Every structure is written in C-alpha cells, then in structure tokens.
A and B are shown apart, each in its own frame.
Chain A
Amino acid sequence: MFDTQFLIEVLVGGLLSGVMYSLVAIGFVLIYKTSGVLNFAQGAMLLFAALTFVSLVERGTPFALALLATLAIMVALGITIERAVLRPLINQPPITLFMATLGLSYVIEGAAQLLWGTQVHGLEIGVSDIPFDIAGVFISRFDLFAAAVAGSLVALFTLFFRYTRTGLAFRAVADDQFAALAVGLRLPRVWAAVWTAAGIVALVAGLLWGARLGVQFSLSLVVLKALPVLVLGGFDSITGAIVGGLLIGAIEKLAEVYVGPFFGGGIEAWAAYVVALALLLVRPSGLFGQKLVERV
C-alpha cells in the first residue's frame, strides 16, 4: 500500500534539510559570484566558526558576547584571507585560486582543531528539536527554525545587493571584474567584504549544523553535501542555491526511502551527485547558472 502521508512527511523533511544545504551553498555562491572562485574552504570556515563559538560558550562567555566575538573573528579571518591569499594571487586563473582555497581549508581546519581541540562539543542554541503536528504530518521545530533563518538571510542579502553601495559594488565585480576596476572599484576591498560576508554565512550555517550534528571535525564535510546543490542550482545564483538545496534535500530523502532499499541503503552519499550530474548533462551550467559564451 502506498502511504501518501508518509510520502509527504519524507518530502517535507527532505525539503527542510535541504534548507540546511542551501545555507552552506549561499556562502559558496557569494564568493563565486564576485571572484569566480569555488571556495573549498567554506566548510573549514563553518567548522572554525562553530568551534570558536562553542569553545567560548564552554569557557563561560555569555551567549550574545560569544556570538559577537565569533563574528569579529570571522570578519578578521575574511580580511586576513584577502590580504594573505587572494591579493597575491590577483590575475591568476581560477583553478589556481581554487587550489589555494584547498590549501586554505587545510590551514583553517588544522588551526581550529589545534586551538580548540578535537573532541566533540554539544551545541545548544535554545531551539528544541521536538516535532509538531500539522494536519497529521510531523515537522521538526528545529528544521522550521533553520528554514526561517535561511529565509531571512536570503532576504537580507537580496536587500543588501539591491539597495546598498557595497551591494552595487559586489554586483559590478560579479558582472565584469575589469570593467569594475576601470570605474575605480577597489577589488581587494570588495573581496575582503565578500569573504567577510561568507564568513558570517559560515557562522550561521555552522551554528545550525553544529546544533544538529554536534561540533566536530566532520562538520567541515558539510561542504561535500553542498557541492551537488551548487552544481544543480548554478554556481553563481543565490536563487539557485535555495532551489538546488530544496531539490537535493527532497531527492536525497526520497531516494533513501524509496530507492535505497534496492541497493541495501546508504545511497545518500552519492545520490545527490548522480541527480546533479544527470541535470548537468541537460543544462551544463545548472538551473540558474550564467550561460557560458565561448569565442575563439
């Protein structure tokens, strides 16, 4: 017998966990849009932010103060990365920058764990994970909270991009780096701002993921979950990150429940990639990604 209610429950659960992927993916998109770099260190930044916050709280810092301190540290990290890594690599091909972020992810992961230790920390952000009942379908309160946070973050970014001067600068740089330079935008400053923004997204995502999984090294592997989302949505579209996240979340859960048993389960690790790949074969720049124009 086919159980519709169960299907809806799986679907909603999937969509909501997809929001968590979107949160990670937005950090990637911000940086890709403005500098054409796939920032592999996003996961490491997420780990670093969550670990710093948890360690501060465990050492007796009040919640709000710890949040502020972590925020300040992420801003400092963003500026440092721009100065130490990106600025010397200006004008290098994107693949070089990508490899630099791979190196960066090693440095940040190592530093985070060297500083705060490798044990697993629990993180309590004051939202209970009790499911509640909407028309017979159980929905996790925590998932809803995460979705709300993600929604407001996206709204905030949209407003920021549209109505502030810095946002305008971001868009200009994303559109055409050379033209942006030519009209006098300071690329290093814009990049520092973007990496700071990505750091803040990492903090938010890190807190939510940390509350769900516990703060530990495997948190940085969330990147690997976010990559198919990016591929599906297109690397340079925030809308794509959201839609892609929802799709991947739903597909992953549905596949695990309905297709998984045929393979003996555990297909979550690659199902998302296969779906993303299949879509890419039809649309090579994802659902919302910018089309590539090639000239000889």
Chain B
Amino acid sequence: MTTITETTVAPTRLSWLTPNLLGVALLLLLGYGLVPWIGSDYLMDAVLTPFLALALAAIGLNVLTGYAGQVSLGSAAFLAVGAYAAYNLNLRLPSLPLLADIVLAGAIAAAVGIVFGLPSLRLRGFYLAVSTLAAQFFVQWALTKFGWFSNDNASGVIDAPVIRIGSLSFTSATGRYVFSLSIVAVATALTARLLASQIGRNFIAVRDHEVAAKVIGVPLLRTKLLAFGISSFLIGVAGVLWAFAYLRTVEPAGFNLDRSFQILFIIIIGGLASLRGAFIGAAFIVVFPLLLSRLGAALLGSVFDSGVLEMSQRIVIGALIIAFLIAEPRGLVALIDRAVAAARRLRSSQS
C-alpha cells in the first residue's frame, strides 16, 4: 500500500525481442525495404510517422516508469522542451547540422528532466507523480509566456524547419518517415544496450525495492537522476520528431496534459518495462482512433459527427484501459507472449 512501485511488472527480460534478432532485422527490412516503396503518403504521413515519434516517447517514459519505477505525468513537457530546443538551435546556430541540433535538444530536455527529477530523491509514489505535473504546467507556461522561445511569433505557431542532412533533404512524406525510422531505430538500439547493462539493472533494483537496492550498494541519487535524464533525452528527441517530421509546426498547445496521459496509456496498454510494449502500445493508440472513426462512420453514418466521435473515442479508450488493467495488467506484450506460448504448446503436443 505504501509504495506504488513494488511488484508492478513481471520479471524483466533484458533482451528486448524474445525470440532473437532475426525478428528485428525482418522488421527493419520491412520498414526500409518495403514500406517506402509501396506505402501510400497517407500511411506514412498520418500513421507511421506519429507512431514512430510516440513510440520513442513511450520508450523514454518506459525507462523512467517501467524500468526505474518513477511515475511521471509530465512527459509532454519534455516533448515540448525537445521540440523548442531543436527549433531554437536551428534558428540561432544555423551552422550546426540538424543531427547535432537533435542530439543537443535531447541533452537540453535531459537537463530539464534532471532538474524536475530532483524531488524523486525525497518523494515516493503518488507524491512524485503529482510533483511531475509541475514540469508539465511550468514548461507550458514558460513556452507561451516568453516570446523568445517561439522567436516572437505572434500566433505562437511556428513552421518547423525542413529536415536536411548534408545534401540530403527529407521533405516528402516518405523522406520524413525514413528519417524518423532511422532515429527511432538507433535510439531504440542504444536504449536496449543501456538497459541490458549495469545501469539498467540498477534501475530495476531501485524500482523493485529502493531500500534493498541501497543496501546492496546501488547509488540511489545517481541512478534516479540518470533515469530522469535518459528518459527526458529520449522524450526530447521524440518531441523533435513529432514537431519536425510529423506536425511540421512547433506549438505549445499540442504538448498538453492529454499528450502526457496518452504516452502513459501507451506504456500501460503495451506493457510496462518492455521496449516491444512501447511500439505495440503506440501502434494501438495511433491506429485505434482511425479505426474507430471509420467504424463509426460506416455504422452510424451522419449521426456520427466529430463531437460525438471525440466523446465516444474518450469513452472507448478509457474503457479499454480499464479492461486491459483488469484482463492483463502487464499489457499487450504479455498477451502476445501468452498467445505465442500457447501456440507452441499446441504444436508440440500435435507432433
């Protein structure tokens, strides 16, 4: 009852794709070799690019919440910090290449994350969760209040710069998709390595029992701040992708509390402490509303206007979250693993 971190998730697998690397290679082959050639612009622009950005943000939050056990409700703030930092770096230091902008933007988000992670040294559970809301409100306020961040743009909505690396420019839907895919693939691989290292094990130790972790010599202060830093770095980079590759504008309104919850929902639905879960959850959150609007339009026709659609989306998403928590608190990943295991058993019993 006292801590909200104990026994949250099943034993963590340190290798992130259960069977082997073959699956990853296959997915990457599909992502690079097939989708850009046969996918429509709509698919890449409205489905895959936001999916990739959200998946990366979810990985970031998963590092903090799933692995290190620190609940955060302020993810959207770090998305915003990343997006605005990259925009300002690009604007004010034009000589820097875009990739350097992105890495630096991540670093700035990490620095902000560490500052807002400081309370975690004293606070536990819900007290910490609530205190991360401070980041959410403060960042949003600062970005709208001080014109400097948006280069004194009157509307507060600014065009994101074109993604260009060297002489290559990624302006088409395909280009932006491929760019996002590359960034997300590299970031995911690095995160997977990191989580498999001593640092990752420290995160899990802190999550499972803070006092016990301290007793066996895990440096609490460094581990927690590192978790906040890495998490915010990843979320910041995701923010750059979200603003530059998907929306192509930078505006504070898109980074509100609902976005924070959305990312939290992704890791709950997908599965806490699982990189695969972040991708599966993000896919679900992106595809599901599209399906629902199609379904609604097909079934109810004209009655189903946008207001009704939005409300029923809220209801269905909320209900699904509750249903998921009841049916499988470990998320879609656990569901899939169970299905695979059942299929294997079936096959072995037949042979």
Partner of B318, one of A94, A105, A269: A105
Asked if B131 and A93 sit within 8 Å, CB to CB, the answer is no
In the complex with contacts A99-B264, A102-B321, A114-B312, A38-B126 CB distance below 8 A: yes
In the complex with contacts A114-B315, A296-B209, A281-B122 CB distance below 8 A: yes
CB neighbours (8 Å) of B2 from chain A are 292-294
Asked if A93 and B318 sit within 8 Å, CB to CB, the answer is no
Which of B137, B145, B268 has the most CB atoms of chain A within a 10 A radius of its CB? B137
Stretch among A71-79, A126-134, A153-161, A259-267 lining the B interface: A259-267
Closest 9 CB pairs of A and B: A106-B318, A103-B321, A110-B314, A110-B315, A107-B318, A273-B134, A95-B4, A270-B137, A114-B311
In the complex with contacts A103-B321, A270-B141, A280-B119, A89-B133 CB distance below 8 A: no
B6 at the binding interface (Cβ < 8 Å): yes
- Once the chains are docked, how many angstroms separate the CA of A89 from the CA of B329? 9
A248-294 CB contacts (< 8 Å) to partner B:
263-264, 266-267, 269-270, 273-274, 276-277, 280-281, 284-286, 292-294
Asked if B141 and A267 sit within 8 Å, CB to CB, the answer is yes
- Once the chains are docked, how many angstroms separate the CA of A8 from the CA of B176? 58
A158-205 CB contacts (< 8 Å) to partner B:
177
Closest to B318 in A: A106
Asked if A103 and B318 sit within 8 Å, CB to CB, the answer is yes
Asked if B126 and A235 sit within 8 Å, CB to CB, the answer is yes
Asked if A107 and B4 sit within 8 Å, CB to CB, the answer is no
Closest to A103 in B: B321
Shortest CB distance A261–B (Å): 13
Asked if B311 and A110 sit within 8 Å, CB to CB, the answer is yes
- Once the chains are docked, how many angstroms separate the CA of A68 from the CA of B129? 36
A78-117 CB contacts (< 8 Å) to partner B:
84-85, 88-89, 92-96, 98-100, 102-111, 113-114
Q: List 19 A-B contacts (CB under 8 A).
A: A38-B126, A94-B126, A95-B4, A100-B326, A102-B261, A102-B265, A106-B318, A111-B311, A113-B311, A118-B307, A224-B133, A224-B257, A263-B145, A270-B134, A270-B138, A270-B141, A277-B119, A294-B2, A294-B211
CB neighbours (8 Å) of B340 from chain A are none
CB neighbours (8 Å) of B122 from chain A are 280-281, 284
Partner of A36, one of B1, B134, B319: B1
CB neighbours (8 Å) of B124 from chain A are 284, 292
Closest to A44 in B: B318
Shortest CB distance A174–B (Å): 10
Asked if A104 and B318 sit within 8 Å, CB to CB, the answer is yes
Q: Is the interface of B mostly helix, strand, loop or mixed?
A: helix
- Once the chains are docked, how many angstroms separate the CA of A292 from the CA of B210? 13
CB neighbours (8 Å) of A269 from chain B are 137, 140-141
Asked if A103 and B127 sit within 8 Å, CB to CB, the answer is no
CB neighbours (8 Å) of A294 from chain B are 2-3, 210-211
B99 at the binding interface (Cβ < 8 Å): no
Task: Report how many residues on chain A are interfacial, defined by Cβ distance under 8 Å.
Answer: 54
Asked if A98 and B4 sit within 8 Å, CB to CB, the answer is yes
Shortest CB distance A57–B (Å): 22
Which of B126, B257, B321 has the most CB atoms of chain A within a 10 A radius of its CB? B126
- Once the chains are docked, how many angstroms separate the CA of A89 from the CA of B321? 13
B308 at the binding interface (Cβ < 8 Å): yes
- Once the chains are docked, how many angstroms separate the CA of A155 from the CA of B317? 39
Partner of B130, one of A95, A113, A230, A267: A230
Shortest CB distance A256–B (Å): 13
Asked if A106 and B314 sit within 8 Å, CB to CB, the answer is yes
Shortest CB distance B123–A (Å): 5
Shortest CB distance B171–A (Å): 36
CB neighbours (8 Å) of A84 from chain B are 322
Which of A266, A280, A285 has the most CB atoms of chain B within a 10 A radius of its CB? A280
A12-51 CB contacts (< 8 Å) to partner B:
36, 38
A100-B326, A270-B134, A292-B124 are known contacts; what are 12 more A-B pairs with Cβ within 8 Å? A94-B4, A95-B5, A96-B325, A96-B329, A110-B313, A224-B133, A269-B137, A273-B134, A274-B138, A276-B130, A276-B131, A284-B124
B254 at the binding interface (Cβ < 8 Å): no
Asked if B127 and A274 sit within 8 Å, CB to CB, the answer is no
A231 at the binding interface (Cβ < 8 Å): yes
Shortest CB distance A212–B (Å): 21
B1-27 CB contacts (< 8 Å) to partner A:
1-8
Partner of A107, one of B6, B261, B319: B319
Closest to A230 in B: B130
CB neighbours (8 Å) of B131 from chain A are 231, 273, 276-277, 280
Shortest CB distance B228–A (Å): 15
A240 at the binding interface (Cβ < 8 Å): no
- Once the chains are docked, how many angstroms separate the CA of A102 from the CA of B126? 13
Partner of B127, one of A96, A99, A267, A286: A286
Closest to A118 in B: B307
Shortest CB distance B311–A (Å): 4
B339 at the binding interface (Cβ < 8 Å): no
Closest to B314 in A: A110
CB neighbours (8 Å) of A99 from chain B are 264, 268, 321, 325
- Once the chains are docked, how many angstroms separate the CA of A235 from the CA of B124? 12
Which of A96, A99, A284, A286 has the most CB atoms of chain B within a 10 A radius of its CB? A99
A228 at the binding interface (Cβ < 8 Å): yes
- Once the chains are docked, how many angstroms separate the CA of A292 from the CA of B314? 36
Shortest CB distance B65–A (Å): 9
